[in-house]
Amino acid sequence: MLILPRRMNMCRSIKPLFNFDPPVTPDEIRAASLQFVRKISGFHKPSKANAAAFELAIDEITAASHRLLRSLETSASPRNRELEAAKAKARFHKPVTAIVLDKLATEDQSSQT
C-alpha cells in the first residue's frame, strides 16, 4: 500500500503558468507538459517502444493545459514574471536578491502609475 504525504510539493521544473504578464506562451505550456510526463513516467527520454505513448501524453496534457488556462478567471492583477522569478531566486540567495526585488518592485509600481 502506497501512503502519500498530506501535502506534496510540485516538481521544481514545473512552474505556475496562470495570470502572468506577459501571458504564458504555447512553448511554455508544452515544456511544462513535458516535465509532467517525465515526472510521472520516470523517463527523461523514453525508449523507442514508448516514444509514441510519451509524445501522445505530452500532446494531450498540453491541450488540456491550454483549455484550463483559457477557462480560468481571476480578479487578481497579473503577476510580473521578472518579479516572480526574482522571488524564487530569493529563496536561495536572500541577501543579493533582496536588493533586486526592491528594485523590481519599485520599477513595477512606477510602471503601473
**76-87: pLDDT as tens digits:** 999 998 888 888
* Whether the Cβ atoms of residue 105 and residue 73 lie closer than 8 Å to each other: no
Within-domain flag for 51: yes
pLDDT value at position 15? 80
Task: Examine the pLDDT at 43 and tell me if it is beyond 80.
Answer: yes
pLDDT value at position 70? 95
Element (H, E) at 45: none
Considering the entire predicted model, what is its pTM? 0.67
β strands within 1-113, DSSP E: 20-21, 79-80
Task: Examine the pLDDT at 5 and tell me if it is beyond 70.
Answer: no
Q: Could you tell me if 84 and 95 lie in one domain?
A: yes
pLDDT value at position 13? 63
Number of domains in the chain: 2
CA distances from 113 to 76, 102, 108 (A): 17, 17, 9
Q: State the residue range of the domain holding 84.
A: 79-113
Q: Could you tell me if 43 and 85 lie in one domain?
A: no
> How many angstroms separate the CA atoms of 106 and 109, rounded?
5
